Copies of this chain bind each other. A is one copy, B any other.
Amino acid sequence: MKLKKLPNSTIIRLSLYSRYLTEVDRKELTLISSLDIAKGIGVNPASVRKDLSYCGDFGTKGVGYNVKDLRNHVIKILGLNSEWNVTLVGLGNLGLALSTYKGFQERGFVINRIFDTDSSKIGSISNGIQVFPAEQMVDILREKPSDIGIICVPMSVAQATADALVKSGIKAILNFAPVSLKVPPEVSLRNVDLAVNLEILTFNLSIEELTDSLIARSF
C-alpha cells in the first residue's frame, strides 16, 4: 500500500508530536501513551491514535509507545532526519527576519544563500549568509542546487521569482508574497498567509456574540 498524501492538518500534528516527543525523550522517559501525547499537546486522543497509526507499529496495547522509536520515525516521516538547503529570495524586512529565525535551523532548515536585486545588499554577508544578485540565481542554483526556496519579494515580482526558482531545479517553494503562484505539479508550493492566524483568534473572539445566530446543523 502506497501512502501518497496526508492532510496538512495531520502533518501539522505530526510536527507537534515530534517536538513533544523530543522534549519527553530529553527527560529520559521511555514509554508514552497516546492519551499522554494528546494531553501534552492539547489534541483529541482519537486523532493522536489515528495519526500515529500512519507511523507504523511502535505502540503496544496497554503499554504505550516507545518514545525514542516513535520520535525518530515521526522525524523521518517529516523529512527532518537530514538537513535541507534553503535559498531565500528578497532581503526586505521579512527576509531579514526569516534569515535569522532560529526555528528554521533547529529543525534542519539551513538558509545558505540569499538573493536580492538591491545593489547595496549584494555581496554583503547577512547573518553569515552571502547575498547574491537575483539575476544570477538560476546559474548559481544550477551549479549548487537548493532543496527549498523561500519567496519574500514584493507581490509584483513573486511569479517571476517562482519561475526562476523552478528553472533552477528547486523542488519546493514557501511563498510569503500575498499572491497565488503557478508552479509545475512536480514542485511543492506552500503559501503562508500570516493574517489567517489573526483570523483564528478573531473567530474565537467573535464566537460568543455569534453562536445564537448560527444554525449549527451537522455536529
Min Cβ gap A74→B in Å is 10
| Option from B2, B3, B196, B202 in Cβ contact (under 8 Å) with A84 | B202
Chain B residues within an 8 Å CB radius of A54:
214, 216-218
User: How many copies of this protein are present in the complex?
Assistant: 2
A8 touches B (CB below 8 Å): yes
Known contacts: A148-B201, A195-B103, A201-B148. The answer to whether A207 contacts B172 by CB under 8 A is no
Min Cβ gap A54→B in Å is 6
A29 touches B (CB below 8 Å): no
Max count, chain B CB within 10 A of own CB: residue among A196, A214, A217: A196
Min Cβ gap A87→B in Å is 12
Chain B residues within an 8 Å CB radius of A14:
203
Asked whether B80 lies within 8 Å of A202 as measured between CB atoms, the reply is yes
Asked whether A93 lies within 8 Å of B100 as measured between CB atoms, the reply is yes
A63 touches B (CB below 8 Å): no
